[in-house]
Structure 1
Amino acid sequence: MQIQINTANNIDGREALVAAVEADVRAGLSRFGDRLTRIELHIGDESGGPSGGGDTRCMIEARPQGQDPMTVTDHAATPDLAVSGALRKMTTALDRVFGKQDDKRGH
């Protein structure tokens, strides 16, 4: 599973954030690792201020093998909260999709 993290220029501590987010994504989505080819995150401060502290958005796009990409978005006060909220939403969506596939196959 390939992970790509994109941050806006107005996010403080981008390098440390990227390392922490990648670890969170690997841990949070590890059980789907063999079924996903790529995970892409976009993190940005929608208020546009250089100091942050505004409306932070995290969008996650997951690409399951042989299927259309899935996207979720979460807004929060900090990048960490936005990422964890988006990871929760993506986990729920992937559980639903893969659960339906497994059920159809009789597993």
Structure 2
Amino acid sequence: MQIQTNTDSHIEGHDALAHHVETTVKEGLRHFASHVTRVEVHLSDENGAKKSDDDKRCLMEARLEGLQPVAVSHNANTIHEAIAGASKKLQAKLSSTLGKLNNR
């Protein structure tokens, strides 16, 4: 599973952040690793330099073998909270999507 991290101009895309994203995604999606080929993570600060609640956004898009991509997003006060929230949402979405296929 490939993990690609993208940031907007208001988020510093340093190695530590990329490592955190990779660790969080791999740990959260380990049960689905055989079905997921790539995960694209887009991190942004929706208000830029202005400070406000829930302005950090994490969008995750998982590419599944033979299926349409699945995307979720989560807004939070910090970028780490946004990553964790999006990861949990993606786990639930993949569980639902792949569970429906197994029931057919």
**TM-score (normalizing by structure 1):** 0.88
Instruction: Give me the whole-angstrom Cα distance separating, in 1, the residues matched to 2:51 and 2:10.
Output: 7
Report the counterpart of residue 88 of structure 1 in structure 2. 88
**Structure 1 moving runs of 4+ over 3 Å:** 50-54
> Where do 5+ consecutive residues of structure 1 fail to align?
none
> Where do 5+ consecutive residues of structure 2 fail to align?
none
Tell me the number of residue pairs that the alignment of Structure 1 and Structure 2 aligns.
104
Tell me whether 1:31 sits opposite 2:31 in the alignment.
yes
Q: Which has the larger radius of gyration?
A: 1
Whether the 8 Å contact between 1:12 and 1:51 is mirrored in structure 2 is no
Instruction: Give me the whole-angstrom Cα distance separating, in 2, the residues matched to 1:72 and 1:57.
Output: 11
Amino acid in structure 2 at the alignment position of 1:48: G
Give the superposed CA RMSD.
Answer: 2.0
In proportion to residue count, which structure has more helix? 1
Please give the per-residue CA displacement for 1:19-57, whole angstroms capped at 9, x wherever unaligned: 111111111011111101110000011111188986100
Alignment of 1:14-93 (within 5 A): 14-49=14-49, 55-93=55-93
Please give the per-residue CA displacement for 1:50-98, whole angstroms capped at 9, x wherever unaligned: 8898610000000110011111010001000001111111100000011
Instruction: Give me the whole-angstrom Cα distance separating, in 1, the residues matched to 2:53 and 2:92.
Output: 28
Instruction: Give me the whole-angstrom Cα distance separating, in 1, the residues matched to 2:28 and 2:95.
Output: 12
Instruction: Give me the whole-angstrom Cα distance separating, in 1, the residues matched to 2:36 and 2:12.
Output: 30
